[in-house]
Structure formats: C-alpha cells, structure tokens
Amino acid sequence: MKILVVSQYFWPETFIINDLVRALARQGHELVVATGKPNYPEGYVYEGYRSAGVVREEFVEGVELLRIPLRPRKTGGGLNLICNYLSFVFSGVLRLPWLLRGRHFDAILVFAPSPITAALPAILLKYLKRGYLAIWVQDLWPESLAATGFVKGPVLLGAVGRLVQWIYACSDMLLLQSEAFRAPVAQYASKTKAVYYPNPVDPIFFRDDMVASLPVALDSLMQSYFCVVFAGNLGNAQSLDSIVDAAKLLADKKRIRLLLVGTGSRLEWLQQQVAIHALDNVVLAGRFPSEVMPALFRRADALLVSLAPDEIFSKTVPSKIQSYLAAGRPIIAALNGEGARVVRQAGAGLTCPAGDSRALADAICEMFELSPDQRQIMGEAGRAYAQEHFEIDQLASRLVTLLRQEIDSSHKAGKQ
C-alpha cells in the first residue's frame, strides 16, 4: 500500500507516529512523510536543520521524508504557537502539491495532535490526488483550546469549531485514540466516519535488552529513595499545581521523591515553586533521549500520570499510559474518565481524581506502603494488557485493513 503521512511533528521529535511509520514500513508498505523542521519541545530548530528550505531524507528503508519550511515555536506563548501552526499550513499548501507531483497514494494519513490545522494541506492533497483521507485524532478541538486557556471567548471558539467541522467533513475516516472521543467528535462529524484506533506502544518499552545507563546522580537517587516518576510534557494540561501541592503534603515522608522528567511551558514555574517552598522531595531531572526512557521507567518504583480536571481531559488517554504499561511498573493515575479506566481495567495501579492533591498524596503513600511483590503484580498486569491491546505491529496491520476495506467500499459505491 502507498501511504502519504502528513504530520507537523516527526522524528527526531518523539511522537508515536514515528513508530507507526516504522511498523508499516516493516510490513512492506511504501510511505512518504510530509513534515516540518524538528523543533519540539525546546522551540528551536534542531542542530543540523534550518527553518528555511526543503529537505529530503530517508527515515528507514522504504520511507521518504519531505521536510518543508516551518517557523519554530520558540519559547511558547500564543503568538509564537499560532505562527508555528500557520507556517506549516502555508508551507504545506504552497509546496507539497509541487513536491509530490506525479505521485500516487492509496491513502493519506494525518497525525493530528494539536494543531488540527495540520490537516489542511492534506485536504488539498486529497482532492489533487483523489486519495482517501484518514485523520488520526489525538486531541479534541476546540474543547482542549478552551480547557488550556489558549483560546478564550465564545466567538473565537465558535470559529474554531466551524473549522473543525469543515476539516472533519473533508475527511473519509476519523481514527479516535479514545473511545470517549466518540460523543465530542459526533458534534462535528458523522458518526459513521469514527473508528476507535488507540495509540500503540513504542516497542522500545517492551524490549528487555534496553539497558541504557542513567546519569550517576540520577542512578544514586533512584537507589536511595522511593521514586515516583512523571515523564513527558510539563504544561498546563498536566495539573502540575496538584503535584506541587501533593509534594507539600508529603514533606514528612523522607523516603519518597517525585522525579519529574521532561520540559515544557511550565518548567520555569515548577523551578520557582521548588525553590519558594524548599521542596527537596521534588527533583526536576530535565529531558533525556528516548532510548534512556525504558531504563528510567523500569528503575522507577511507580510511574505517575496526571491531567487537569477539565471535562475534556477525562475523554483522552495520555499516550504515556501505553508506555507506562509496557514498562511493567505500577502506575499512579491522577485522572478522570477514560485514562483512569484503562489503568483500572489493566489492574496496573492506583487511580485518584484529577486535580485532587490530597487524593494524589494518599495514593502515593498507599503505593509506598505496598510490598515490592504487590507492586510487581501490578506492573506485570499492565505489561500484559499493553501487549494485548497496544502492540504496534498488530495496530499497524489493523490500520491497513481498515483503510483497504473503506477504500474498496468507496470504490464499489462509486461504480454503482
């Protein structure tokens, strides 16, 4: 099958679309990935690249990358993000039709975390190539924009809603990363387009031979304390206030450390809070290469995932949950809704309400008081659940089956 993937984010940025593309290539499919210049999450174009110009690369055998010009997101803020989003749209609309001239694709797949606007160049290509367009919906617009405060006011949110409705109308299939996305998406699109398609696990987290060494100071910390590890974006959606408040409540638990790994728009705020409140039980470890993360996860005593208590976030399954499950360590999920349901269904850990610092502190204490064998049982249950539900080769095969069935069905309907 010939597939064009359109994604504003791609390797060496760390996103699940990288692993899905690898899996599809392993299965013998021919792929082209249209993407931008890597700059997430730091906000500056990675070394070896520049914002201007088009770059052609080979990702893995059978996968060609087309990198189009893109304004980096810089240090965040509304204006910088808007410029970043729009630069990908303009570059894609202006350059991709020419760069892909004469090329045929059976399907176009859009990887659609925020921003959903990344689908706009793909819609143009759908009509130029007469291709089948599937959008892998990772985030709910405009609801998530309102929840994070990025967009305020009913008029602007209404305009975004109409844009989303048009984008969905132009698609042939909407792949939903969460079952709970069905109702919100149905406000903007036909229910017949929606298909549940969960995020897969990065296969690196299943590998037992991933023995990357940790920095000496971090290794010593994890040997000396009961470490609860939070990994990923440190932004508005992650309810970092409740983590800080939980750390204050845990100040007398001298053996417990909250280890926050990653970066994001609220990192500076976190650093200030740690200093102001003298939180020696919070460690801001910075960002690590993806190949180090499996070793880091497996050394953790527990893995923490949190989201803000907004209704919209109760419908999503943070992609780190799949990685946490595969790592085989117990999970503390400070979540409402679908993400918490997955952890409970897997028997993989403890859950508590989103945004509730007292409940989070209690859950951390409860996990601390369990025996190592009890925590190991949770971890093994989570790993088995991830293998059954989120293994990437199975999901890659399912995607191709879905696409072929729908393409064949649409061809038959067109001949009638």
pLDDT digits (tens, 9 = 90+) for 158-209: 999 999 999 999 999 999 999 999 999 999 999 999 999 999 998 888 877 6
Contact (Cβ atoms closer than 8 angstroms) between residue 31 and residue 62:
yes
Structure confidence at residue 415 (pLDDT): 54
Structure confidence at residue 33 (pLDDT): 98
Tell which wins on pLDDT, 19 or 212.
19
Residue 211 has pLDDT above 70, yes or no: no
Q: Which residues pair with 72 in a beta bridge?
A: none
Please state the rounded mean pLDDT for residues 402-408.
92
Please state the rounded mean pLDDT for residues 66-92.
91
Of the chain, the percentage scoring pLDDT greater than 90 comes to 78
> Residue 149: which pLDDT band, with cuts at 50, 70 and 90?
confident
- Give the CATH number of domain 2-200+391-415: 3.40.50.2000
Average pLDDT, the chain: 93
**Topology of the domain comprising 204-389:** Rossmann fold (3.40.50)
Taking CB atoms within 8 Å and a gap of at least 24, the contacts of 86-89 are: 86/117, 87/36, 88/8, 88/36, 88/117, 88/118, 88/121, 89/117, 89/118, 89/120, 89/121
Taking CB atoms within 8 Å and a gap of at least 24, the contacts of 70-78 are: 70/8, 70/36, 70/37, 70/39, 72/37, 72/39, 72/43, 72/44, 72/45, 73/39, 73/40, 73/43, 74/43, 74/44, 75/43, 76/43, 76/265, 78/150
From 87-101, 144-158, 302-316, 388-402, the region with the lowest mean pLDDT: 144-158
Instruction: Give the model confidence (pLDDT) of 316-334 as tens digits.
Output: 899 899 999 999 999 999 9
Q: What residues does each domain of the chain span?
A: 2-200+391-415, 204-389
Instruction: Give the model confidence (pLDDT) of 284-306 as tens digits.
Output: 999 888 888 988 999 999 999 99
Do 2-200+391-415 and 204-389 show the same overall fold?
yes
Distance CA 314, CA 327 (A): 23
Please state the rounded mean pLDDT for residues 331-340.
96
Structure confidence at residue 210 (pLDDT): 61
Q: Which residues pair with 303 in a beta bridge?
A: 229, 331
Distance CA 350, CA 377 (A): 13
